[in-house]
Amino acid sequence: MRPIIPSPAAWASGMPAICLAALLVLGIGPLCGSRSLAEEKKPTMPTYTVRRTPEPPSLKGDWDGPIWRQAETGTLDHFVPTSSDHRPKVQFRLLYDAEWIYVLFRVEDRYVRCVETKFNGSVCQDSCTEFFVQPRPDKGYFNFEVNCGGNMLCYYIEDPSPSPQGEFAKYTPLTPEQGAQVRRYHSLPAVVDPEITEPVTWLNEIHIPLALLETFTGPLGDPAGQEWRANLYKCGDKTSHPHWATWAPIEGGSFHQPRFFAPLRFAAQE
């Protein structure tokens, strides 16, 4: 089944800018060849240990610096079958302290495009990195989607089932004021047009205040010793070589499947 793409009229009607993958019926997507998913060997669900940092990163995308070197390195090794033959190498690192979650992506890429500059716009159509995180199992999750130009979309999503209007059944977009609380660094310009077709390495870094998450989830406390759930993604819906990469494997094409989120374990204080 090909992805379900909204018509131009639907976009013009003001439907929220939801990632293409989110518009698929949950759990339904293309199969590889003629074999069913049940016949395929299911990949192992990853886990990631988020280490505590004694001082915050400098928000400069310093991948090889002393602060970010203390973090584990995760990779996005799974690609949705409808992806093109472009397979960027995508790595990430996470750190935390009592007040912030720190996220850094490093992408070895080609066919890089970035034209969305509006907050909560269609950033997933550009070259984009995404951090979906669910701090508490009885609450919703956040989708921090940031294109390579540093523009962000983020919702608090309590029910990602599609509504008759093509939106999520229950979600709350962050306001521009709330979005401004998320500190961002991007190594590429705010707009990349025309597309960069040659190999290029770029970085996105975001610092997320726990106080922002608590606005929606209630008190979280110091994350030390806690286990959250998350998935991380890379996409480029409207680039010349569309692709959809994930850290934890998923079924179908929708990124908005919290049942496939994998554990983030916050290391206890030393």
Q: How far is CA 100 from the centre of its chain?
A: 17
Q: Are 20 and 123 in contact (CB under 8 A)?
A: no
| pLDDT confidence band for 150 (50 / 70 / 90) | very high
Mean pLDDT over 59-81 rounds to: 98
Closest CA to 247 of 85, 116, 72, 98: 72
| pLDDT confidence band for 192 (50 / 70 / 90) | very high
Question: What is the set of domains in the chain, with CATH numbers?
Answer: 8-266 (2.60.40.1190)
pLDDT score of 119 more than 60: yes
Q: Which two tokens stand for residue 213?
A: 């998450």
Quote the pLDDT of residue 43: 73
Residue carrying the six token digits 């007040």:
99
- Give the amino acid at 259: R
Quote the pLDDT of residue 208: 99
Exposed / middle / buried, residue 187 (Cβ in 10 Å: 0-12, 13-18, 19+): middle
The overall average pLDDT reported for the chain is 88
Quote the pLDDT of residue 77: 97
5, 123, 179, 267 from 147: Cα distances, Å: 20, 5, 14, 29
Measured CA to CA, the distance from residue 57 to residue 65 in angstroms comes to 9
9, 15, 16, 121, 138 from 230: Cα distances, Å: 33, 26, 23, 22, 14
pLDDT score of 244 more than 60: yes
Of the chain, the end-to-end C-alpha distance in Å amounts to 50
Exposed / middle / buried, residue 252 (Cβ in 10 Å: 0-12, 13-18, 19+): buried
Residue carrying the six token digits 């976009």:
11
* DSSP classification of residue 245: E
Measured CA to CA, the distance from residue 58 to residue 192 in angstroms comes to 25
Quote the pLDDT of residue 165: 87
Question: What global pTM score does this model have?
Answer: 0.86
Main-chain phi, psi angles of 18, to 5 degrees = -100, 140
Task: Specify the 3-state DSSP secondary structure of 25.
Answer: coil
Task: Specify the 3-state DSSP secondary structure of 182.
Answer: coil
| Residue 98: count of CB within 10 angstroms of its CB | 11
Share of the chain above pLDDT 70, in %: 84
- Name the least confident of 25-34, 189-198, 224-233, 249-258: 25-34
Q: Pick the more confident residue, 23 or 267.
A: 267
Within 8 A by CB and 6+ apart from 8, the residues are none
SS (H, E, C) 95-149: EECCCEEEEEEEEEECCEEECCCCCCCCHHHCCEEEEEEECCCCCCEEEEEEECC
